[in-house]
């Protein structure tokens, strides 16, 4: 592992993280993120999508805090935030519905922003950027470095070519763009694909995600 300062956070080995992240994006499963006491993603003025199948979360969140999710079918809702930018389910610095938190919260991992090279982008909420810029990945070898470089190239390509995004990708936040970049990064390992190829790969990837809306955050 490279040198880690007091402010740096060990993000883990990149290739292993990438495999877990890909599985979580596809399945909507939870990521094991070493958040410690950080609640940046709960206090960063984020709308949290909740799907109609998330009955546990929907039962625990007061109905008056939920609003129809723009651009999604009936039944999809979002949980908003208060005038400080805090999720209303955050009580005394902890998620009050942790065991039943929405899928969006379970899959969220701010290390995607690092992998994509977006961590210090001005469009990332400052609380999340402050945390994300501290992560440092470890690399098992040159192939792991090439994988990370490919994710970064894919993310830059998607940011520069919005026409590569199929309609079902929605209007992505940088977090969602980073997740989509992870899905198509293999195309960028030793080639520079064109817009048509990337768009087709994204359509195929979105079709395989259990609930791609979870990455709207
Ligand atoms: S539901 Fe819980 S984990 Fe999700 S943003 Fe709110 S406080 Fe954070």
Average pLDDT over residues 8-30: 92
* Phi, psi torsion values for 136, nearest 5 degrees: -130, 115
Task: Express each pLDDT in 55-92 by its tens digit.
Answer: 999 999 999 999 999 888 899 999 999 999 999 999 99
**Distance in angstroms (rounded) separating the CA atoms of residues 191 and 109:** 27
Longest dimension (CA), the chain: 51
Question: 45, 47, 48, 100: which to mutate for ligand 1, most atoms within 8 A of CB?
Answer: 48
Task: Express each pLDDT in 143-192 by its tens digit.
Answer: 999 999 999 999 999 999 999 998 877 778 899 899 999 999 999 998 88
Average pLDDT over residues 121-142: 94
Exposure of 84 in the CB half-sphere (CA atoms within 13 A): 9
Average pLDDT over residues 123-143: 94
Residue 95: in which H helix or E strand, if any? strand 94-95
Is residue 2 scored above 90 in pLDDT?
no
How far apart are the two ends of the chain, measured CA to CA in Å?
A: 31
Query: Helix H segments across the chain?
Result: 14-27, 55-60, 103-107, 111-116, 126-132, 142-160, 174-184, 195-208
What is the pLDDT at residue 213? 54
Residues 6+ apart with CB under 8 A from 153: 185, 188, 192
Ligand 1 nearest-atom number relative to CA 104: 4
Average pLDDT over residues 130-136: 95
Confidence class for position 6, pLDDT limits 50, 70, 90: low
What is the pLDDT at residue 8? 93
Task: Express each pLDDT in 101-117 by its tens digit.
Answer: 999 999 899 999 999 99
Is residue 27 scored above 90 in pLDDT?
no
What is the pLDDT at residue 70? 85
Exposure of 72 in the CB half-sphere (CA atoms within 13 A): 20
Mean pLDDT of the chain, nearest integer: 90
**Distance in angstroms (rounded) separating the CA atoms of residues 108 and 103:** 8
What is the pLDDT at residue 40? 93
Confidence class for position 202, pLDDT limits 50, 70, 90: very high
**Distance in angstroms (rounded) separating the CA atoms of residues 176 and 206:** 12
Token readout for 176 is: 């969602």
What is the pLDDT at residue 210? 62
Exposure of 158 in the CB half-sphere (CA atoms within 13 A): 33
How is the chain split among helix, strand and coil, in percent rounded to 5?
A: 50, 10, 40
Is residue 215 scored above 70 in pLDDT?
no
Distance from the alpha carbon of residue 90 to the mean position of ligand 1, in angstroms = 6
Average pLDDT over residues 128-151: 96
Establish whether residue 42 lines the binding site of ligand 1, counting it when its CB lies within 6 angstroms of any ligand atom: yes
Establish whether residue 49 lines the binding site of ligand 1, counting it when its CB lies within 6 angstroms of any ligand atom: no
The answer to whether 72 and 104 have CB atoms below 8 angstroms apart is no
């Amino acid at each position: 592992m490279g040198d880690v300062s007091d402010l740096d956070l060990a993000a883990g080995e990149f290739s292993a993280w990438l495999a877990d992240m890909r599985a979580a994006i596809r399945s909507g499963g939870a990521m094991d993120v070493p958040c410690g006491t950080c609640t940046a993603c709960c206090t960063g003025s984020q709308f949290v999508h909740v799907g109609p199948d998330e009955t546990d979360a929907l039962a625990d969140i007061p109905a008056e805090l939920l609003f129809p999710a723009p651009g999604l079918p009936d039944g999809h809702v979002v949980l908003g935030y208060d005038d400080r930018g805090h999720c209303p389910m955050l009580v005394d610095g902890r998620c009050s519905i942790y065991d039943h938190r929405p899928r969006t919260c379970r899959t969220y991992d701010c290390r995607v922003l690092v992998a994509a090279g977006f961590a210090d982008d001005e469009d990332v909420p400052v609380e999340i950027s402050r945390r994300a810029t501290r992560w440092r990945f470890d690399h098992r070898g040159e192939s792991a470095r090439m994988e990370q470089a490919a994710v970064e190239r894919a993310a830059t390509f998607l940011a520069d070519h919005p026409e590569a995004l199929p309609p079902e990708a929605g209007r992505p936040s940088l977090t969602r763009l980073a997740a989509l970049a992870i899905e198509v990064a293999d195309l960028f390992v030793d080639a520079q694909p064109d817009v048509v190829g990337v768009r087709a790969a994204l359509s195929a990837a979105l079709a395989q995600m259990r609930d791609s809306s979870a990455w709207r955050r």
